[in-house]
Amino acid sequence: MAGSEKRGSRFESAEERNLVKRLSLACPANRSKERGCFVIVVCLALTGLAACGARRPISSQPPPLQPVPTPETKEEEAKRSTSVEPQPKPAGTPTRRSKSSDIPTSGIYAEEGNASWYGAPFHGRKASNGETYDMNKLTAAHRTLPFESMVRVTNLSNGKSTTVRITDRGPFVDNRIIDLSYAAAKEIESVGPGVVPVRIEVISGPDPYSGFFTVQVGAFKERGNAERLKERLSLSYSPILIQQAVLDEGIFYRVRVGRVSGESDAQKLRDVLHDREGFSPMVLRLDEPAQP
């Protein structure tokens, strides 16, 4: 390839060559001045283009993989594989109607980030929505999406998709956005890598933005440390909650700030706590009944 390289091909694109050519017309005709001016113009042109490239993708790069649409049969399969066994109702119990917020929300909520998965250590334990976690069903944990949300998850590394039902809370790691069940991770081939980049899209379910939210600012093994942080923050924020969580690593005490209506305002509180207090906080949904 080097032998067939044309003059000017050291520039990354025709756009750069044209820009350098236009700018070089402003230089004096004198050869020595022209050579010096040309060098300056090249530097300025390439610097300007590099700055633009930092803000938008370079057109010569290959386009990202497009998500593979989830077939309707796949979505129905996910619903069936995660359904809860119906409990018999007492005689005279009225039939509950669907909430007005239980509407299709496709296209309303989308997010990109890293996905992890969880399996055997949690298999058979109670999930946050009260169900028993089954790693062989298509479910997932998310910090803010309502329970019963149906979510399409696409592995951006290979374009493979799966549909899951939100039944749990997590992940409690700030560089991940969703925890998949083993079955869901297997479908998008993320079991081996462990963590993969994904795009998640809400297909249907309750309004993802309404409800009450809180901001978690820390988790401690010593309750005394959590109490001291609560006391300090109580001077400026209210309410401050301490939630006890029993994990494989032991008992943790999570400090949470506020009870905010709407995710947008919760994100603003998160930014305030980050900027003023130096935390790396995360927004969490407060499920009803609210966590103590």
Please tell me the predicted confidence (pLDDT) of residue 85.
Answer: 43
Average pLDDT of 240-255? Answer: 91
pLDDT digits (tens, 9 = 90+) for 59-116: 333 344 444 454 555 555 555 555 444 334 333 333 333 233 344 445 689 999 999 9
272 or 72, higher pLDDT: 272
**Greater pLDDT, 100 or 40:** 40
pLDDT score, position 81: 55
Mean pLDDT over each residue of the chain, to the nearest integer: 75
Query: What residues pair up with 161 in beta bridges, in sequence order?
Result: 154
pLDDT of residue 76: 56
d(CA 210, CA 270): 17
Closest Cα to residue 37, out of 24, 48, 50?
A: 24
Which H or E run includes 239?
A: none
Provide φ and ψ at 21, rounded to 5°.
-65, -45
Distances (CA, A) of 22 to 15, 19, 32, 146, 254: 11, 5, 19, 56, 61
Q: Which helix (H) or strand (E) holds 251?
A: strand 250-261
For the segment 199-222, the average pLDDT, to the nearest whole number, is 95
Identity of the amino acid at 170: G
As a whole number, mean pLDDT of residues 6-11 equals 36
- Give residue 280's pLDDT: 92
For 116-134, what is the mean pLDDT?
94
- Of the pLDDT bands very low, low, confident and very high (cuts 50, 70, 90), residue 43 is very low
The stretch 220-248 carries a mean pLDDT of 94
Q: Is the pLDDT of residue 138 over 50?
A: yes
pLDDT at residue 84, as a whole number:
42
Would you state the pLDDT for residue 220?
96
Q: What per-residue confidence (pLDDT) applies to 247?
A: 82
